[in-house]
Amino acid sequence: MSLVTSPEFIRRIESIVGSAGLVQDPERMHSYLVDWRNAYTGNAALIVRPANTEQVAAVVRLCHEANVALVPQGGNTGLCGGSIPDATGQQVVLSLTRMTRIREIDPANATITVEAGVILQQLQQAASEAGRLFPLSLGAEGSCTVGGNLATNAGGTAVLRYGNMRELTLGIEVVLPDGRIWNGLRGLRKDNTGYDLKHLFIGSEGTLGIITAAVLKLFPATHSMATAWVALPSPEAAIELISHIRGVCADRLTGFEMMSRQSLEFVLSHVAGCRDPLTSEQPWYALIELRDTISDAPLTELLETCLSHAFEQGLVIDAVIASNDSQAAALWGLREGISEAQNHEGPSLKHDISVPVSQIPAFIERTDKALQARFPGVRIVSYGHIGDGNLHYNISKPVGADDVAFKANELAIMDIIYQKTGEFNGSISAEHGLGQSKPAAAVRFKDPLEIELMRAIKRTLDPTGLMNPGKVFAAEQ
């Protein structure tokens, strides 16, 4: 019997977290060992669910002493397998989902202090009830946790205006790999007393420690909104359009999502109740949202002014402005339906890349061309947060092609896309992190010196390598 499942080890874990904090039953363990898309499956000795920071610290200390590897887990909604343990059954999954306290709301400081297991949507609601906005917004918000958002530096549709999770964070509390607690829960806008350690842990995917709580920024609630769906001749036009709108509207611009006709067609084919908002087919679309704190701000007029200017410049072919909230929601539905719709067309090879905003058109043109040359007929579903330079550049098989034969090209297709990303000094993972699926690619496409520095940091903070092993870093050669 291995150490990890020895009765003594389990007894000691249970003495820390109680029976409510221990999951050993294989059936109950299952949901912690498989990701929501069924893309990654692992095994574990135990699932441990501490109720507070002190319990997390005690569990980590015990595992540190016993040389047991830990896999921190939040809502388990990641896309790269970062919270799924390996297959050995020797790792312990440490789930933060019982740590759901909102510790403090300080409206005058515009901060909220929450524990790692708070669901993003609950955080949004708590902010809203205090008359404030917590802006992070993404598809999984009903089940992802703050801890996961921090560990992966989550993005989403509001990054354009409010930044990534990193930019929304003032302070964090971390259980270090040896079980000590670093209380960095400061709610300060300015603090220049040494290295800013929080930024090491944010986005480190649980490989340097376990984030147990955070002080997050709140923003003024918005009280007016305008939403438009516009048809564009090209990605170039989209870039010029966003530049124009930002110049005029500045931070009233809270959303700008571009998508290809192919993306829209998949949605129209597969998502119930959707319809094309415009009468003619056009190659590209953008969904544009303005918001203001002032309740009667003339946003529709402002949007009309911007769009009529763009129309005169040939940047916009056609446009519709939502006249009420349900119309706006329907337009967002077209954008949000893409990922699901694509699954109906066979395997979807997903890539989450970013390049400088100005390089989006050239990236699309050259990558499309390279892919079509090598794999004629593949359907390219490109869409995303282009104001952040972030494209979800997903590939579906040619019409009528065999699923298995198509999937066999996965690595070759990825290679073309990542090569092009590199040519534009871009990132092969804009939002989703590295997890267990992309460390090898990161090694190929990142500066070796940067990987070396990352490894040096990892060795310094986690010398025994027990924190989420196999994630972020590829096995050393």
Site for its own copies in 138-177 (CB under 8 A): 152-153, 155, 159, 163-164, 166-167, 176
Query: Which residue, 30 or 459, is less far from its own copies as judged by CB?
Result: 459
Task: Restricting to residues 447-466, name those near its own copies by CB under 8 A.
Answer: 447, 449-451, 453-454, 456-457, 459-461
Is 124:141 a contact under the CB 8 Å cutoff? yes
Task: Restricting to residues 84-103, name those near its own copies by CB under 8 A.
Answer: none
Helices 53-66 and 7-17 sit at what angle, rounded to 10 degrees?
160
Residue of 3, 20, 87, 221 interacting with its own copies (CB under 8 A): 221
Query: Which residue, 85 or 155, is less far from its own copies as judged by CB?
Result: 155
Interacting span for its own copies (CB under 8 A) from 83-91, 104-112, 140-148, 337-345: 104-112
Query: Which residue, 113 or 409, is less far from its own copies as judged by CB?
Result: 113
CB of 124 to its own copies, least distance (A): 18
Q: How far does Cα 418 stand from its chain's mean position?
A: 19
The two beta strands, 102-106 and 111-115, are antiparallel
- When asked if residue 228 is in the footprint of its own copies (CB under 8 A), the reply is no
CB of 90 to its own copies, least distance (A): 25
Q: What whole-number distance in Å separates Cα of residue 17 and Cα of residue 95? A: 12
Residue of 52, 109, 224, 419 interacting with its own copies (CB under 8 A): 109
Residue of 206, 433, 469, 470 interacting with its own copies (CB under 8 A): 433
Is 114:132 a contact under the CB 8 Å cutoff? no
CB of 155 to its own copies, least distance (A): 5
Helices 235-249 and 299-312 sit at what angle, rounded to 10 degrees?
140
Residue 36 one-letter amino acid: W
Q: How many residues bind its own copies (CB under 8 A)?
A: 92
User: Which tokens sit at 123?
Assistant: 């955080």
CB of 111 to its own copies, least distance (A): 7
Report the side by side order of strands in the sheet with 46-48: 22-23, 46-48, 92-95, 70-73
Query: Which residue, 212 or 409, is less far from its own copies as judged by CB?
Result: 212
Q: What whole-number distance in Å separates Cα of residue 454 and Cα of residue 431? A: 19
Is 107:128 a contact under the CB 8 Å cutoff? no
**What size, in residues, is the chain?**
477
CB of 451 to its own copies, least distance (A): 8
- CA dihedral in degrees (418, 164, 447, 464; nearest 10)? -110
The two beta strands, 92-95 and 70-73, are parallel
Instruction: Give backbone dihedrals phi and psi of 347, rounded to 5 degrees, phi first.
Output: -60, 140
Query: Which residue, 397 or 471, is less far from its own copies as judged by CB?
Result: 471
Instruction: Give backbone dihedrals phi and psi of 394, rounded to 5 degrees, phi first.
Output: -105, 150
- When asked if residue 429 is in the footprint of its own copies (CB under 8 A), the reply is yes
Task: Restricting to residues 290-349, name those near its own copies by CB under 8 A.
Answer: 292-294, 302
- Which helix H or strand E contains 396, and what residues bound it? strand 390-396
Task: Restricting to residues 371-400, name those near its own copies by CB under 8 A.
Answer: 385, 387-390
CB of 396 to its own copies, least distance (A): 24
- When asked if residue 254 is in the footprint of its own copies (CB under 8 A), the reply is no
- When asked if residue 196 is in the footprint of its own copies (CB under 8 A), the reply is yes
Query: Which residue, 21 or 470, is less far from its own copies as judged by CB?
Result: 470
Residue of 23, 57, 84, 110 interacting with its own copies (CB under 8 A): 110
- When asked if residue 444 is in the footprint of its own copies (CB under 8 A), the reply is no
Residue 193 one-letter amino acid: T
Is 54:7 a contact under the CB 8 Å cutoff? no
- When asked if residue 243 is in the footprint of its own copies (CB under 8 A), the reply is yes
Query: Which residue, 192 or 279, is less far from its own copies as judged by CB?
Result: 192
CB of 270 to its own copies, least distance (A): 28
Task: Restricting to residues 16-35, name those near its own copies by CB under 8 A.
Answer: none
Query: Which residue, 107 or 314, is less far from its own copies as judged by CB?
Result: 107
Q: Which residue is it, tokens 């769906």?
A: 229
Query: Which residue, 167 or 410, is less far from its own copies as judged by CB?
Result: 167
Query: Site mask, its own copies, residues 64-83, x = CB under 8 A?
Result: --------------------
Is 123:146 a contact under the CB 8 Å cutoff? yes
Residue of 47, 371, 430, 467 interacting with its own copies (CB under 8 A): 430
Q: What is the 3-state secondary structure (H, E, C) of 319-383?
A: EEECCCHHHHHHHHHHHHCHHHHHHCCCCEECCEEECCHHHHHHHHHHHHHHHHHHCCCCEEEEE
